[in-house]
Amino acid sequence: MEVTLLGVAQDGGFPQVGCLKDCCEDARRSPELSKMPVSLGIRGLDGSCHMIEASRRMAGQFDLWNSVGAPEWPPSSVSLTHAHLGHTDGLGLFGREVMGSSGIILHCSSSMGDLLDSTPSWSIMIEQGVIIPNYWAPMEPFEPTPDCGFTLTAIPVPHRSELSDNHALIIRGDKKSLLFMPDQDSWRETLGEDLEILDWLDALEVDIALIDGTFWNYDEISSRDVSEIPHPTVTETLGLLGNRKQGDPEISFIHFNHTNPLLREGSNECRHLSEMGWGISKQGAVYHL
């Protein structure tokens, strides 16, 4: 089975609305530089298709996914890691106003399910049978649909919980496993006091990890109160990882804020990260599991 990375940007995408700095103006002048919010498309062994996250850029993500092999559409299932805007604001596209879909299994936590039930624009989609919520049990693998040939496992990860809790997802195929973790508050909260990143990934039996790389460092958002948007910086994560060694999992960063220099191919930051042996996730990348 295969996983396609349908976006690598933070919730607002790149360029980001309201930003008139060079970073976004360059992307407006050169559309090939633009990036969509993080999302995955998964094709099961039975040909079924499944999405992780429902972003506002779903139309472009469908086109990208279609370019590497026409997906079944609408997908058989959608999984939501948490309630923040860029991960959920495309959910309504499945409803009567746009696609008029029905019977899409929506995998999420019970906390996210409570929000779906209490939000009128989403609860009506449940009443109309557009989406059928199915709540996962953390740390317990499940098949999104029968015979899809892979499992998902939800891993609790602390991240701003104003609306719902947050999970990373492990996608486990016959040959490899991939961790999708676009958001977290801090490594200390995720790992606890005693674990290291590589030890944690080893315990989870992860071969490929796509992890939170929202900010290179906090200098890029000096005008914002970082306590309102906590994420471990890439520089902090690299300090914890060190240089990649033989036998280490494949780790790439995702969920880039529009200010992050890793969006600029060839930047000093890109070169530094690559020299350490770690990756910068590419929109459209396909992983065979």
Tokens of 56: 């506002």
Q: Give the confidence band of 222 by pLDDT, cuts at 50, 70, 90.
A: low
Neighbouring-strand partners of residue 170 = 153, 179
Q: Would the pLDDT of 195 be above 90?
A: no
Tokens of 240: 């914890």
According to the model, what pLDDT value does residue 240 have? Answer: 95
Q: How far apart are CA 41 and CA 53, in angstroms?
A: 9
- The region, left, alpha or beta by phi > 0 then psi within -120 to 50, assigned to residue 130 is alpha
Q: Give the confidence band of 224 by pLDDT, cuts at 50, 70, 90.
A: low
**CA torsion angle for 175, 205, 234, 53 (degrees, to 10)?**
60
Proportion of the chain above pLDDT 70, given as a percent: 97
Domain that holds residue 210: 2-288
- As for how many domains the chain has, the answer is 1
Exposure of 188 in the CB half-sphere (CA atoms within 13 A): 3
- Strands in 167-172's sheet, in edge-to-edge order, are 151-156, 167-172, 177-181, 208-212, 250-254, 279-280
According to the model, what pLDDT value does residue 159 have? Answer: 87
Q: How far apart are CA 154 and CA 118, in angstroms?
A: 23
3-class DSSP state of 13: coil
Beta-strand (E) ranges in the chain?
Answer: 2-7, 39-43, 49-52, 77-79, 104-108, 131-135, 151-156, 167-172, 177-181, 208-212, 250-254, 279-280, 286-288
Q: How far apart are CA 39 and CA 57, in angstroms?
A: 10
Range in 35-49, 74-88, 220-234 with the lowest mean pLDDT: 220-234
Look over the chain and give the mean of its residue pLDDT values, rounded to a whole number: 93
For residue 77, what is the domain's CATH number? 3.60.15.10
Other CB atoms closer than 10 Å to residue 129's CB: what's the count?
Answer: 11
